[in-house]
Chains A and B, each alone.
Chain A
């Protein structure tokens, strides 16, 4: 079946820098995408979502970009802080068509002080 994948399994940044985490998806029918953050020993937490009728969505210090032409999703974190250290997952689904999310394997972000 189709699945969501990631370009890099690990990312290391300096505190204060901006981080970019990438995700490639293969199901062109997917119309809803979510980024999750999972800290060590905890369950994944919702960060931000985006629907396919948008190409950019901003939250607090986070921005998600969607490029449907190349089926690419990215999460940008501004002024990365030590508390941002976690594993980040992207997920995709078809709203109204599937009850399930397809998750990527995750990128581990490490923020160095």
Chain B
């Protein structure tokens, strides 16, 4: 079974703090993704990575950065947390589509971040 784990289920941070969200997958997937999910807005892609040290901006990258130093780990960084970054953050991983496989993404359980 594919397993995608996220470092925290719940986080409470203060405005201006630097926040790290960690994600680990155990299926040797090439691709990893960070989404945020807000009521009425669905899943919005923040960043994704298709290989180690490679990253691409998604639809809403402002205020976020990412790091992928190892294939199994993808970190989302909020450089200076703000209240409008209060949200559910979901990590996902998938095989690379150029390999002719899947496209199917496997999700972690999510981290509910509150910024006060």
Asked whether, in the complex, the Cβ of A104 is within 8 Å of the Cβ of B42, the reply is yes
Q: What string of 1s and 0s marks CB contacts (under 8 Å) between B21-63 and chain A? A: 0000000000101000000111101001010000000100000
Decide if the interface of chain A is mainly helix, strand, loop or mixed.
Answer: loop
Judged by a CB distance under 8 angstroms, whether A42 is at the interface is: yes
Asked whether, in the complex, the Cβ of B90 is within 8 Å of the Cβ of A98, the reply is no
Asked whether, in the complex, the Cβ of A43 is within 8 Å of the Cβ of B90, the reply is yes
Q: Evaluate whether A44 and B107 lie within 8 angstroms (CB atoms) in the complex, with A96-B97, A100-B48 already known.
A: yes
- Interface size range on B against A: 20 to 34
**Bound form: Cα–Cα A91–B108 in Å:** 17
Asked whether, in the complex, the Cβ of B97 is within 8 Å of the Cβ of A99, the reply is yes
Closest residue to A106 on the B side, CB-wise? B42
Asked whether, in the complex, the Cβ of A43 is within 8 Å of the Cβ of B110, the reply is yes
**Bound form: Cα–Cα A45–B109 in Å:** 10
Asked whether, in the complex, the Cβ of A46 is within 8 Å of the Cβ of B42, the reply is no
**Bound form: Cα–Cα A87–B98 in Å:** 30
Query: Chain A residues with Cβ under 8 A from B102's Cβ?
Result: 95
B contacts, CB < 8 Å to A: 4, 31, 33, 40-43, 45, 48, 50, 58, 90, 92, 94, 96-98, 100, 102-110
A contacts, CB < 8 Å to B: 32, 34, 36, 41-46, 49, 89, 91, 93-101, 103-106
Could you write out 16 A-B pairs with CB less than 8 Å apart?
Answer: A36-B107, A43-B110, A44-B107, A49-B104, A89-B43, A93-B103, A94-B97, A96-B97, A96-B100, A99-B31, A99-B48, A99-B94, A99-B97, A100-B33, A101-B103, A105-B40
